């Protein structure tokens, strides 16, 4: 009897392309840094980095678009009832919301620039480069947010290989254009921003064409976009938005509170956060696969399959967590040496590495159950557990242990991740026992 079941194979075949797609994103960031890092002006890299951080956080918070559409798309795939819910409906509803939010970002971007300059306290050339970068990237917002919707729909339809191709093609185009615009055309920071906008537009057009290929958009009805029809979409996205905002609040608090403890602590936390980025590459891939499969099972009204894919997802999430933990235990010092060559920074980071070994074992539960609840489209549960974990666990634990300074931040963060996993897991099993998975 094979140890790998048919459900395992299906899950891993969906997860593998998403893991590879995730890996390409940090490479793009490294290339942009290298391109600007070779310019004569240090302010160019500083200004672009600050601008990119702000734009990235805005788009990350808007990630609710991807999550909500994935669940709805997967449920439609399972239901196979185009007469009741046409396949194009959630895609077009999400696209409309994405474009509206994108236009809103374009409208308010001057205030975003001013707020960024004020908070970062930039001056001179750095101030100008921040404004240049954000102003150009803002005009790519409709395309960037449309990409989230398209990727969410493709994941829900289990087209993860297409997502991989789209991500790789977009990132390669971005890299080529960055080098061309900056080194050949001497556009500087504006060139890096413009390259990203062009790549985002390419991905939006190509992705939307790919997603709608074979769909009859002529069946689109005006009623799909009426207030009553959009209520579920808005409700789902509003809950996801609050969830993302609370998570971002905790991550931002670690960054800013670390900075208050000194430049060295801020640098240590930047290094430690890369361990969190590393585990997300693999654990997000498993979660994406679970989103698609659980959503499909919900569309089929098959609670047994929901349980099956949740169980298999937990097994593989645990496997990845143990692998990550073992790797960090064996190679954490080496990873730190790759991230910094400063002995004093390596020494300051070293005591915290024991927490990084524990990080995957604690965090994988919330990654996995996030995937389950995205597939079930139960966003309010995700919002409520996130608020509880942030306001009831993260901040109280930090406050109670604040005398331990940076240790307090990371102990609070691990407790926060653990609380999210426990609360989501408890909700899932409670709803399963009470047969409320289809609510």
- Residue 1: its pLDDT value, please? 41
Query: Taking the chain, what is the end-to-end CA distance rounded to the nearest angstrom?
Result: 37
- Residue 340: its pLDDT value, please? 80
- Residue 84: its pLDDT value, please? 41
| Residue 212: Cβ-neighbour burial (10 angstroms; 0-12, 13-18, 19+) | middle
Mean pLDDT of 257-272: 85
Mean pLDDT of 17-40: 78
Q: Is the pLDDT of residue 135 over 60?
A: yes
- Residue 342: its pLDDT value, please? 83
- Residue 83: its pLDDT value, please? 45
7 confidence band (pLDDT: 50, 70, 90) = confident
pLDDT tens column, 69-101: 999 889 888 886 554 446 677 888 889 899 999
- Angle at Cα 199 formed by Cα 197 and Cα 200, nearest 5°? 65
Q: Evaluate the CA torsion angle 425, 422, 369, 62 in order and state its sign.
A: positive
- Residue 226: its pLDDT value, please? 59
Alpha carbon 380 to its chain's center = 18
C-alpha span between 351 and 76 (Å, rounded): 49
Mean pLDDT of 111-135: 86
Place of tokens 């289990």: 158
C-alpha span between 161 and 13 (Å, rounded): 9
Q: Are 409 and 256 in contact (CB under 8 A)?
A: no
pLDDT, greater one: 86 or 163: 163
- Residue 204: its pLDDT value, please? 95
403 confidence band (pLDDT: 50, 70, 90) = very high
Q: Among residues 62, 209, 72, which one has the least CA distance to residue 142?
A: 62
**How many CA within 13 A on the CB side of residue 303?**
11
pLDDT tens column, 289-346: 999 999 999 988 899 999 999 999 999 999 999 999 999 999 999 988 887 888 888 8
What's the whole-model pTM score?
0.89
Give one word for 39, left, alpha or beta, with left for phi > 0 and alpha for psi -120 to 50: beta
For residue 332, what are the contacts with CB-CB under 8 A and spacing of at least 6?
A: 275, 353, 356, 357
């Amino acid at each position: 009897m094979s140890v790998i079941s048919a459900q395992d194979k299906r899950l891993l075949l969906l997860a593998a392309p998403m893991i590879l797609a995730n890996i390409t994103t940090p490479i793009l960031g490294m290339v942009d840094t290298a391109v600007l890092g070779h310019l004569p002006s240090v302010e160019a890299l500083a200004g672009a980095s600050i601008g990119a951080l702000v734009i990235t956080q805005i788009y990350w918070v808007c990630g609710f678009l991807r999550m909500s559409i994935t669940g709805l798309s997967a449920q439609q795939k399972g239901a196979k009832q185009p007469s009741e819910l046409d396949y194009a409906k959630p895609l077009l509803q999400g696209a409309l919301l994405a474009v509206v939010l994108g236009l809103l970002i374009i409208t308010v971007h001057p205030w975003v620039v001013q707020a960024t300059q004020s908070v970062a306290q930039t001056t001179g050339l750095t101030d100008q480069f921040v404004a240049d970068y954000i102003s150009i990237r803002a005009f790519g917002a409709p395309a960037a947010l449309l990409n989230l919707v398209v990727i969410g729909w493709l994941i829900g339809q289990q087209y993860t290989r297409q997502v991989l191709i789209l991500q790789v093609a977009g990132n390669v185009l971005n890299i080529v254009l960055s080098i061309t615009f900056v080194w050949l055309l001497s556009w500087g920071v504006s060139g890096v921003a413009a390259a990203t906008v062009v790549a985002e537009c390419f991905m939006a057009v190509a992705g939307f064409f790919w997603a709608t290929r074979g769909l009859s958009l002529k069946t689109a009805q005006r009623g799909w976009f009426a207030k009553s029809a959009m209520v579920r979409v808005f409700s789902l996205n509003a809950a996801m938005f609050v969830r993302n905002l609370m998570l971002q609040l905790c991550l931002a608090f670690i960054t800013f509170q670390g900075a208050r403890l000194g430049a060295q602590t801020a640098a240590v936390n930047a290094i430690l956060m890369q361990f969190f980025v590393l585990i997300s590459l693999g654990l997000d891939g498993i979660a994406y696969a679970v989103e698609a499969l659980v959503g499909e099972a919900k569309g089929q009204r098959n609670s047994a399959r929901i349980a099956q894919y949740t169980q298999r997802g937990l097994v593989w999430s645990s496997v990845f967590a143990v692998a990550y933990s073992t790797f960090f235990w064996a190679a954490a010092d080496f990873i730190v040496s790759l991230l910094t060559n400063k002995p004093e920074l390596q020494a300051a980071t070293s005591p915290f590495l024991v927490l990084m070994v524990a990080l995957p074992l604690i965090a994988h539960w919330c990654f996995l159950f996030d995937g389950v609840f995205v597939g079930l489209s139960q966003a309010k549960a995700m919002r409520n557990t996130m608020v509880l974990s942030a306001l009831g666990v993260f901040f109280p634990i930090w406050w109670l242990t604040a005398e331990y300074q940076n240790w307090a931040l990371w102990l609070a963060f691990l407790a926060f991740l653990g609380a999210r996993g426990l609360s989501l897991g408890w909700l899932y099993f409670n709803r399963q026992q009470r047969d409320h998975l289809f609510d």
